[in-house]
Amino acid sequence: MEVKEDFELSRVTTLRIGGPCEKIFFPETADEFIELLNGNPDLFVIGSGSNLLISSKGLKGGVVCTKQLKKVSLDGNRIIAECGVPGPFLSQFAAKENLSGFEFFIAFPGSIGGNVYMNASAHNQFTSDCFVSARCYDRETKSIVILNKQDMNFAYKQSVLQTGRYVLIDAVFELEKAAPDKIEELMSRNLTGRKQTQPSMAYPNAGCAFKNPPNDSAGRLLDKAGMKGYDDGNVKVWDTHANFIINKGNATSTDVLELMLKMYNKVKENYNIELAPEVIYAGEMTKREEEICRVLYQKNQK
């Protein structure tokens, strides 16, 4: 398998931010991945890197990137996908088989591992909807376990993977047969809506900065608080979506966190709502980053 040393993690995150790690592994088969985890259970896992803010100071210890693990197979209405399969690929794969349930995956770059970890959702579809089971590496018992839907504790932006105990190797989903034109129409509606409101990947970003609070939308609150298009130097809030931060080219993790703090404070001052970050922070913190994360994350992360 490919192994790289002193690797800049900005190369594997969609925000294009992230300092060095000592070693990064790119396993090519599930067996290789499991063997790697057996020898190094604490490796930090990166899928498509589309929900990550990695410190510009870097990340201590090793990292594994799952992007080569992209095997997909079909068993009736069931799709079995390795953790590194990109959602948009799976969406198209399902569409070709006239299977409905993955239309929302067309619209964002997350891998299956990351999508299950976050219970990623869009356009009223959730990763948990079609989820049947996953083969996971259990870091506590150093063994492979099968987790069924009831083991996953799925909720909005939440799954048992967030405890850090399990690494998803591959997962089984059950979809429903549907008319091809219905599937295509839904996929193209999902894509068109995005193009109107979200930055293209040409502007490095990590999707929504904050989760929606109960019965409201973080984007709506941030917009009303005047944050749409707010320019903060190296980073900026997107012009047509107030919950997206873009890296203008030379941003650091501190730039992003400073802007997230401003966004958080604005909504708190105006509406007395404390937004919880959606984007996951990882790595070595500067003193200032520690201060900001104490406000943004430690109080908020569930």
Ligand X SMILES: Cc1cc2nc3c(=O)[nH]c(=O)nc-3n(C[C@H](O)[C@H](O)[C@H](O)COP(=O)(O)OP(=O)(O)OC[C@H]3O[C@@H](n4cnc5c(N)ncnc54)[C@H](O)[C@@H]3O)c2cc1C
Give contact residues for ligand X (rule: CB under 6 A). Answer: 14, 45-52, 66, 83, 107-111, 113-115, 117-118, 120-122, 161, 167-168, 198, 205-207, 280
CB nearer ligand X, residue 142 or residue 177: 142
Minimum gap (Å) between residue 52 Cβ and ligand X: 4
CB nearer ligand X, residue 177 or residue 195: 195
CB nearer ligand X, residue 183 or residue 245: 245
Query: Nearest to ligand X by Cβ — which residue?
Result: 114
Minimum gap (Å) between residue 272 Cβ and ligand X: 26
Q: Which residue has the tokens 């894509």?
A: 191
Q: Are 293 and 285 in contact (CB under 8 A)?
A: yes
Give the separation between CA 135 and CA 144, rounded to whole angstroms. 7
Which residues make Cβ contacts (< 8 Å) with residue 158, sequence separation at least 6? 118, 119, 302
Minimum gap (Å) between residue 116 Cβ and ligand X: 7
CB nearer ligand X, residue 34 or residue 261: 34
CB nearer ligand X, residue 36 or residue 107: 107
Which residues make Cβ contacts (< 8 Å) with residue 181, sequence separation at least 6? none
Q: Are 238 and 167 in contact (CB under 8 A)?
A: no
Q: What are phi and psi of 10, to 5 degrees?
A: -60, -20
Residue 246's SS3 state is strand
Minimum gap (Å) between residue 170 Cβ and ligand X: 9
CB nearer ligand X, residue 76 or residue 103: 103
CB nearer ligand X, residue 183 or residue 279: 279
Beta pairing partners, 73: 80
String of DSSP letters for 14-70: TT----EEEEEEE--SHHHHHHHHHH-TTPEEESS-SSEEE-TT-EEEEEEE-TT--
Minimum gap (Å) between residue 66 Cβ and ligand X: 5
Give the separation between CA 215 and CA 111, rounded to whole angstroms. 27
Tokens of 85: 């399969």
Minimum gap (Å) between residue 235 Cβ and ligand X: 15
For residues 80-117, one letter each, b for 16 or more C-beta atoms within 10 angstroms of the residue's C-beta and e for the rest, the string is: bbbbbbbbbbbbebbbeeebbbbbbbbbbbbbbbbbbb
CB nearer ligand X, residue 100 or residue 127: 127
Q: Are 132 and 75 in contact (CB under 8 A)?
A: no
Minimum gap (Å) between residue 203 Cβ and ligand X: 9
Minimum gap (Å) between residue 181 Cβ and ligand X: 23
